[in-house]
C-alpha cells in the first residue's frame, strides 16, 4: 500500500491542490464516524469490484474473440473509470456550491438539473427519485445474484457427495448467516471480512488457474474473431456488470479518511481499476483459450466435478462472494437510511429499532427474490445493460452537462459535445444491451 500512497502523493505535489482556488473544501466538512484508511479503501474497492462477474468473463470473451475482448474490455474499463471521475468531480463541485460536506448522487442530479438548461428543469424531481431507485435496484440485484451464486456452487459440491437437496433449501440455510452479516454497522468493521474475502478470492484464482495452464494453449482462428454483431452489446453489458460497482465506489469515496487521494491520475481508484481490468482480462482470455466454445456462464462449472481441487475452487469462490454480501448491501442501506433518518423524529430507542429493521429487510428482500427465481444467470447481462448504462454512463454525462450550464463548456462547447456523446453512447448500450439480452432469454427458454 505504501507504493500506492507514494504515487498518489507525487501527483498531488505536481498538480497542486484545488483548495488554493476556493477557500471551502467539502472534504474538511464531512462527518464520518469511522472513516476508512487508504489501505482499507483499496481492500474494499478490490472486493467490491471483483465478484461473481470475473467468473463470467471467459464466456464474454467467447463472444468477441481474444483480440476484440482485450481491446474492448480495456476501452470499456477506461471509459467507465473516466465517467466515474466525472461523477465524483461533479459531486465535489456541487458540494462547493452548496457549501456542504457531501451531497449524495440523487441529490446532485436534482441540483444540477434544477440549475441546468431550462428545457430540462422539469425533470429534476423525477430524476432524483429515478437515480435513487436505480441505485437501490442495482445493489439489491447484486445481492440477489450473490445469494444464488453461493447456493449453486455449494449445492454442486454437496450433490457430488450424495447430499442432494434443492437449491431453495440451500438458500434457506444461507439466510441466517446472511442476516448476521447484514447487521454489521459500518465499513470500518467490514475491513476484516473484505481482507479475508480478498485472500480467499486469490486462493480461488490460483485453484482455477491450475486448470487453465495445465495444457498447451490451442489458438485457432475461431478464437480470434467476433461471432456475430449481436454479441457486442451483450459483451458490453456483461463487462459493465463485471467492472462497475458505482454504489460501492461512491460509498468508499465518501467514507475515506482522505477522499482527495481517491481520485487523480495515480489515485486509489485508477490503481484499483488497473488491477481489476488486468485480472478480468487474464481470467477471461485464459478461460476461453482453455475451454473454447464449451465455456459455461461461470467458469467454475467447467471444472472437473470429481476432483478435490475443483470442489475447493467452488467452495472458495462461494465463501468469497458470501463475504462480499454485506459490502454490496451496505450501499442500499446507506441510501435508504439517510432518507429514513431525516424523517424520523423518534427517540434513540425507536431509531435503533428502525435501523436494524431496515438492515433485516434489505437482507430478506434479495434473499426472497432469489428463492422465488433461483435461476438468474440469463438476466445478468440484461441487468448490467439497464442499471449500469444509466448509473455509470448516461447519468454522469447528463450531470456534467447540466452542471456546466451555461458558460463552462469551453471553446466551441467541446465539453457539451463530449457529454452529449457520452449520453448517446450510454443510451445505445442501454437499448441494444437490453434488446439482445431479452432475445437471448427467450431463446434460452
**Mean pLDDT on 288-311:** 80
Tell me what percent of the residues of the chain surpass a pLDDT of 70: 89
The domain spans of the chain are: 34-444
* pLDDT over threshold 80, residue 5: no
pTM for the predicted model, two decimal places = 0.79
What pLDDT, in 10s, does the model give residues 320-343? 888 888 877 887 888 888 888 777
Q: Looking at 248-262, 303-317, 343-357, which range is the least confident one?
A: 343-357
**Cβ neighbours for 398, distance < 8 A, ≥ 6 positions apart:** 109, 113, 419, 423
Task: Say which residue, 390 or 440, is predicted with more confidence.
Answer: 390
Asked if 394 contacts 427 with a C-beta cutoff of 8 angstroms, the reply is yes
Q: What is the mean pLDDT of the chain?
A: 81
Contact 327, 320 (CB under 8 A): no
241-243-249 Cα angle (round to 5): 105
Report the pLDDT value the prediction gives residue 397, as an integer from 0 to 100: 93
Residues 82 and 369: beta-carbon distance below 8 Å: no
Question: What integer is the mean pLDDT of 214-223?
Answer: 70
The mean pLDDT value for 273-301 works out to 84
The cell numbers describing 278, all together, are 488486468
Per-residue confidence at 260, pLDDT binned at 50, 70, 90? confident
The three cell numbers of residue 109 are: 442530479
What value does the CA radius of gyration of the chain take, rounded to a whole number of Å? 22
Give the single-character DSSP code of 36.
B
DSSP H or E segment with residue 173: helix 167-182
Pick the closest to residue 406 from 128, 118, 127, 105 (CA basis): 118
Name which residue leads in pLDDT, 384 or 135. 135
The answer to whether 231 touches 63, Cβ cutoff 8 Å, is yes
Tell me: the pLDDT tens digits for 73-99? 899 889 988 999 999 999 989 988 888
> What is the reported pLDDT for 312?
86
What pLDDT shows up at residue 18?
44
d(CA 98, CA 95): 5
- Pull the grid cell for residue 67: 483480440
Q: Which band of pLDDT confidence, cut at 50, 70 and 90, is reported for residue 109?
A: very high
Question: Residue 252 has which C-alpha cell?
Answer: 468508499
Q: Rounded CA gap, 14 and 4, in Å?
A: 16
Residue 11 pLDDT > 50: no
- How far apart, in Å, are the Cα atoms of 441 and each of 42, 104, 146, 445? 36, 35, 20, 6
Question: What's the pLDDT score for residue 3?
Answer: 39
List the grid coordinates of 17: 491542490
Closest to 364 in 3D by CA, of 390, 342, 333: 333
> For the segment 146-203, what is each residue's pLDDT rounded down to a tens digit?
888 888 888 888 888 888 888 888 999 999 999 988 887 766 777 787 778 778 888 8
**Amino acid 127: pLDDT:** 92
Q: What is the mean pLDDT of residues 416-440?
A: 86
CATH class, 34-444 region: mainly alpha
Q: What is the pLDDT of residues 346-381, one digit of tens each?
A: 666 777 888 888 999 999 998 998 888 776 555 666
Asked, as a colleague might, if the bond just before 29 is cis with ω within 30 of 0, I would say no
What is the reported pLDDT for 379? 65
Residue 436: partners with Cβ closer than 8 Å, 6 or more residues away: 230, 233, 234, 381
Q: Which pLDDT belongs to residue 398?
A: 93
Question: Could you tell me the pLDDT band of residue 345, with boundaries at 50, 70 and 90?
Answer: low
In our burial notation (b when 16+ CB lie closer than 10 A, e otherwise), range 140-167 reads bbbbbbbbbbbbbbbbbbeeeeeeeeeb
Strand partners of residue 203: none
Mean pLDDT (whole number) for 256-261: 85
Amino acid at each position: 500500500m505504501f507504493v500506492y500512497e507514494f504515487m498518489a502523493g507525487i501527483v498531488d505535489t505536481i498538480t497542486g491542490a484545488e483548495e488554493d482556488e476556493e477557500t471551502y473544501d467539502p472534504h474538511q466538512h464531512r462527518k464520518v464516524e469511522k472513516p476508512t484508511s487508504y489501505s482499507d479503501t483499496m481492500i474494499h474497492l478490490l472486493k467490491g469490484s471483483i465478484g461473481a462477474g470475473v467468473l463470467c468473463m471467459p464466456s464474454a470473451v467467447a463472444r468477441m474473440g481474444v483480440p476484440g475482448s482485450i481491446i474492448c474490455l480495456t476501452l470499456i474499463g477506461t471509459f467507465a473509470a473516466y465517467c466515474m471521475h466525472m461523477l465524483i468531480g461533479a459531486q465535489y463541485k456541487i458540494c462547493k456550491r452548496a457549501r456542504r460536506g457531501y451531497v449524495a448522487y440523487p441529490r446532485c442530479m436534482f441540483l444540477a438539473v434544477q440549475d441546468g438548461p431550462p428545457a430540462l428543469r422539469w425533470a429534476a424531481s423525477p430524476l432524483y427519485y429515478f437515480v435513487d431507485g436505480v441505485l437501490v435496484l442495482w445493489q439489491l440485484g447484486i445481492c440477489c445474484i450473490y445469494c444464488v451464486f453461493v447456493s449453486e456452487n455449494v449445492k454442486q459440491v454437496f450433490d457430488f457427495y450424495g447430499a442432494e437437496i434443492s437449491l431453495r433449501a440451500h438458500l434457506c440455510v444461507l439466510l441466517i448467516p446472511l442476516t448476521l452479516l447484514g447487521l454489521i454497522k459500518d465499513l470500518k468493521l467490514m475491513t476484516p471480512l473484505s481482507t479475508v474475502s480478498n485472500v480467499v478470492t486469490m486462493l480461488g484464482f490460483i485453484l482455477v488457474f491450475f486448470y487453465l495452464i495445465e495444457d498447451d494453449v490451442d489458438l485457432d482462428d475461431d478464437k480470434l474473431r467476433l461471432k456475430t454483431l449481436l454479441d457486442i452489446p451483450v459483451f458490453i453489458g456483461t463487462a459493465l456488470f463485471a467492472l462497475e460497482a458505482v454504489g460501492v465506489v461512491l460509498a468508499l469515496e465518501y467514507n475515506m479518511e482522505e477522499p482527495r487521494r481517491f481520485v487523480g491520475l495515480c489515485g486509489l481508484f485508477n490503481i484499483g481499476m488497473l488491477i481489476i481490468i488486468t485480472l478480468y482480462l487474464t481470467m477471461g482470455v485464459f478461460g476461453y483459450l482453455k475451454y473454447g466454445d464449451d465455456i459455461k456462464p461461470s467458469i467454475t462449472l467447467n471444472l472437473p466435478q470429481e476432483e478435490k481441487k475443483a470442489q475447493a475452487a467452488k467452495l472458495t469462490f462461494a465463501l468469497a462472494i458470501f463475504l462480499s454480501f454485506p459490502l454490496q448491501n451496505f450501499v442500499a442501506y446507506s441510501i435508504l437510511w439517510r432518507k429514513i433518518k431525516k424523517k424520523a423524529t423518534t427517540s434513540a430507542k425507536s431509531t435503533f429499532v428502525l435501523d436494524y429493521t431496515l438492515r433485516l429487510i434489505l437482507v430478506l428482500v434479495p434473499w426472497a427474490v432469489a428463492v422465488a427465481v433461483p435461476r438468474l444467470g440469463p438476466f445478468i447481462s440484461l441487468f448490467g445493460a439497464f442499471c449500469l448504462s444509466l448509473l455509470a454512463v448516461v447519468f454522469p454525462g447528463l450531470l456534467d452537462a447540466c452542471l456546466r450550464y451555461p458558460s463552462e463548456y469551453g471553446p466551441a462547447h467541446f465539453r457539451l459535445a463530449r457529454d452529449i456523446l457520452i449520453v448517446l453512447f450510454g443510451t445505445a448500450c442501454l437499448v441494444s444491451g437490453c434488446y439482445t439480452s431479452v432475445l437471448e432469454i427467450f431463446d434460452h427458454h
